Amino acid sequence: MRLVLASAAVLALAACAPAGSGLSPSATRTAANPCFRPNLVRNFTAPNEQTLYVRTSATEVFQIDATVCRDLPQAVSIALEPLGGTSRLCVGDQARLRSPTTGPEPCRVRVLRQLTTDQIAALPSRDRP
């Protein structure tokens, strides 16, 4: 009988506990950790084999870093594939970058930051997407 009462008490307390959102951490990012959908990338530039800037809207530019992505500055098209099964990329997330110019193997990249308006303006015009 005591076991039944103890079990009932534990279940009652568990029912009162707050439930989690059920969303992955990357799906609940805030303005402090901005995200974008790779399929909405409008334009990009790659000033070197380690740096990629992608424009996702009129005012949003993200910097993406790669260890070395061969011939990235010559790329005319890219595809970003989030790792982890999400449809968005947030600052700090890793992804695969594919491009016909970089070869058959994808490059591993990481979203480094979202640039501010001043940082976008400070980029040389040839590097601004």
50 inside domain: yes
pLDDT in tens, 68-109: 899 999 999 999 999 988 899 999 999 999 999 988 999 999
Domain of residue 118 covers 23-127
pLDDT band of 67, cuts 50, 70, 90: confident
Bridge partners for 80 per DSSP: 97
75 inside domain: yes
Residue appearing with tokens 């530039």: 45
13 inside domain: no
3 inside domain: no
> Structural domain tally of the chain?
1
Residues 6+ apart with CB under 8 A from 115: 53, 61, 62, 63, 123
pLDDT band of 31, cuts 50, 70, 90: low
> Is residue 25 pLDDT above 80, yes or no?
no
Phi and psi at residue 27, to the nearest 5°: -85, -10
Q: Where are the beta strands (DSSP E) in the chain?
A: 35-36, 43-45, 51-55, 61-66, 79-82, 89-90, 94-98, 107-114
100 inside domain: yes
Mean pLDDT, residues 44-53: 97
8 inside domain: no
> Is residue 127 pLDDT above 50, yes or no?
yes
4 inside domain: no
Report the chain's mean pLDDT, rounded to a whole number.
83
Phi and psi at residue 68, to the nearest 5°: -155, 125
- pLDDT confidence of residue 32: 77
